[in-house]
Structure 1
Amino acid sequence: MPTGTRSPEPSHPTPEVAEIVTAFERHLRLERDLSPHTIRAYVSDVTALVDHLKAANPGQTATGNDPMPEAGSWLAALDIAALRHWLAAQHAEGLSRATLARRTACARTFTMFCHRQGWLPTDPGLLLVGAKAQKTLPAVLDQPQAQAALTPPEDPTPKSLRDHAILELLYATGIRVSELCALDVDDVDRDRHVIRVLGKGRKERSVPFGLPSLRALDAWCINARPLWTTPQSGAALFLGVRGGRIDPGTVRRIVHARLRQVDGAPDLSPHGLRHTAATHLLEGGADLRSVQELLGHASLNTTQIYTHVSIDRLRTAYRQAHPRA
């Protein structure tokens, strides 16, 4: 492994590796308030970084039955050269730019945390610069395809009424699948036609929906939800067939199954319906700031990708329709 100038010894004694990873996970959950998905990814990334340092420094492995090396030994090897070598090795393995960007961000967060705890005398992550993840244009439904996907069920069973209400709400609001699954009955304001959503970073926002969604929600809540309610249902808006709160995997299966029935429609996830909602809002004349607020994006840069989607669709239509395109 490339060697750099080693920093002086840390100012505080270092705990064992497992204790450091546990403390880092607790920091992400309680102080950073990151989503469970991001926390799992960051803990996995830090574990991969430790494994890399162990492999690159075989003389620092543990003895006996303990599979982990002394924490101080691998922390001493954690400098900017080691971080760059770790990322370069993953790039050589063909990892995507998005994964590399996430692991770069994780490394910065981890070294900052260790420095603040006194386990690293300096923060090598401050010198780490990684390539930004490429923002590819997402696939979306066109408006006729969206209308076809939202056709009310001919056979109004509890499952079909639930699935239709889920599709209507995902498309009408552009909320994330995790946000939809977390909705309670009281989060729906029928009079104002808004839902209360708890998004990333536990930030609450109100998102409007239209009459088709209201009708679909009423059909589910009045005619179907009571048939599936159990003591485990609580206040959950959408339920599984056993009465518990619906899970994201079930919602994904619902979306995939419905879109397979629409001629010419791309195979999208619930996030694809979020992309579709944002694109159709901008095509209909909504301003970027309003779409940012509706989607719960922290940065306007995240929302701007949908302007590229709209322009790309406009360019395609122009080339197909204009005689001098």
Structure 2
Amino acid sequence: MSADVPPPLQRAVDAYLDHLAVERGLAPNTLASYRRDLRRYLEHLARTGRGALDEVGEADVAAFLAALRAGDDEHPPLAAGSAARAVVAVRGLHRFALREGQTQVDPSRDVRPPPLPRRLPKAIPVEQVGALIAAAGADGTPLALRDRALLELLYGSGARISEAVGLDVDDAHAAPDALRLSGKGGKERVVPLGSYAQEALDAYLVRGRPALAAGGTGGPALFLNARGGRLSRQSAWAVLRRATERAGVAVEVSPHTLRHSFATHLLDGGADVRVVQELLGHASVTTTQVYTLVTVDRLREVYAAAHPRALRA
């Protein structure tokens, strides 16, 4: 049952929302989410007899988090992501109240949002990768040569989309059959490039890029748009979307899907996780190890299908 919110609590939330709207410039939809979450928090505090923020203790905030996860007669249980969003709103309110001198302590400081479930990267089968690439370069025009080279490079090197569109021509010749990528924080790495990607890149550089460069300033960019300027991330996304539609691939595919597929297929083929870490440019092997979970799932599927005593008849 909803509880009547004491005016001091409501005034504190209104002041915080005004701060978010005016000084922080939050979008209307974000503000609406904060307002809903904080309304539920105020009702929770009112039901427990709290009349102002300076009466709230850490146990009250923790109890609210538990209530979000458990649900009640009016609200279904919230998933970890939604509960974490509500806790962020509550912690922001208490930090604001402390900063403004409305309270002497921040009771939410040590209350942590629930951990989010680890999302496994999405990968597509090798056959679908091949169908995408073939669909991108089907007609042999300069743009088609560029599109095929781009997708071959994304899958062949595991590059992020920002790294791919940021490449200059010289980066494609950093070493024989290798590519120089500039990753997060400006950290450079050289990755090998397979024969399929190298052939597609050579074809684009010889027969595709000169035609595109003639329509603009050219410059050092490796991948050019139809006007001769550097290809943008948004345009690279559009290349992949068109190839996905032409190939008839039913699942959602993004440039990061090709990066995930690159890593997963390497591990499936027996590559060491630390080698994959270097190829992807991950600062920590922990980030790369999430791909091993995908591989374990694949091994489990194969085992269940192939082993004579995997499943009881």
TM-score (norm 2): 0.66
Alpha-carbon distance in 2 for matches of 1:113, 1:140: 41
1:139 alignment partner in structure 2: 122
2:266 is the counterpart of 1:266:
no
2:297 alignment partner in structure 1: 312
Q: Does structure 1 conserve the Cα–Cα contact (< 8 Å) formed by 2:68 and 2:77?
A: no
Q: Which amino acid aligns with 1:183?
A: L
Q: 1:189 aligns with which of 173, 176, 181?
A: 173
Q: Does structure 2 conserve the Cα–Cα contact (< 8 Å) formed by 1:190 and 1:214?
A: no
Alpha-carbon distance in 2 for matches of 1:185, 1:78: 60
2:16 alignment partner in structure 1: none
1:226 alignment partner in structure 2: 210
Tell me the secondary structure at the aligned position of residue 135 of structure 1.
Answer: coil
Tell me the secondary structure at the aligned position of residue 304 of structure 1.
Answer: helix
Q: Does structure 1 conserve the Cα–Cα contact (< 8 Å) formed by 2:34 and 2:86?
A: no
Alpha-carbon distance in 2 for matches of 1:18, 1:239: 40
Tell me the secondary structure at the aligned position of residue 167 of structure 1.
Answer: helix
1:260-299 correspondence to structure 2 within 5 Å? 260-262=245-247, 266-299=251-284
Q: Does structure 2 conserve the Cα–Cα contact (< 8 Å) formed by 1:169 and 1:209?
A: no
Cα pair distance change 1:98/1:268, threshold 3 Å = farther
Unaligned runs of 5+ in 2: 10-18, 43-52
2:158 alignment partner in structure 1: 174
Q: Does structure 2 conserve the Cα–Cα contact (< 8 Å) formed by 1:111 and 1:124?
A: no
1:66 alignment partner in structure 2: none
Q: CA shift at 1:163, angstroms?
A: 0.8
1:28-107 correspondence to structure 2 within 5 Å? 49=34, 88=68, 97-98=80-81, 101=84
2:250 is the counterpart of 1:247:
no
Q: Does structure 2 conserve the Cα–Cα contact (< 8 Å) formed by 1:158 and 1:220?
A: yes
Structure with bigger gyration radius: 2
Q: Aligned residues: percent identity?
A: 34
Unaligned runs of 5+ in 1: 7-15, 26-39, 58-74
Alpha-carbon distance in 2 for matches of 1:318, 1:55: 48
Q: Which amino acid aligns with 1:247?
A: S
TM-align CA RMSD = 4.5
Cα pair distance change 1:103/1:280, threshold 3 Å = farther
Cα pair distance change 1:112/1:177, threshold 3 Å = farther
Q: CA shift at 1:203, angstroms?
A: 4.1
Alpha-carbon distance in 2 for matches of 1:83, 1:244: 54
Which range moved further: 256-265 or 303-312? 256-265
Q: Does structure 1 conserve the Cα–Cα contact (< 8 Å) formed by 2:146 and 2:204?
A: yes
Listed one character per residue, the Cα deviations across residues 191-249 of structure 1 (whole Å, up to 9, x for unaligned) are 241222232xx241314132322222222233212222355654332222233332333
Which range moved further: 184-193 or 97-106? 97-106
1:140-159 correspondence to structure 2 within 5 Å? 140-151=123-134, 153-159=137-143
Which range moved further: 134-143 or 98-107? 98-107
Q: How many residue pairs align between the two structures? A: 278
Cα pair distance change 1:127/1:315, threshold 3 Å = same
Q: 2:24 aligns with which of 17, 21, 24?
A: 21
Q: Which amino acid aligns with 1:21?
A: R
Q: Does structure 2 conserve the Cα–Cα contact (< 8 Å) formed by 1:111 and 1:123?
A: no
Cα pair distance change 1:144/1:78, threshold 3 Å = farther
Alpha-carbon distance in 2 for matches of 1:115, 1:283: 52
Q: CA shift at 1:105, angstroms?
A: 6.9
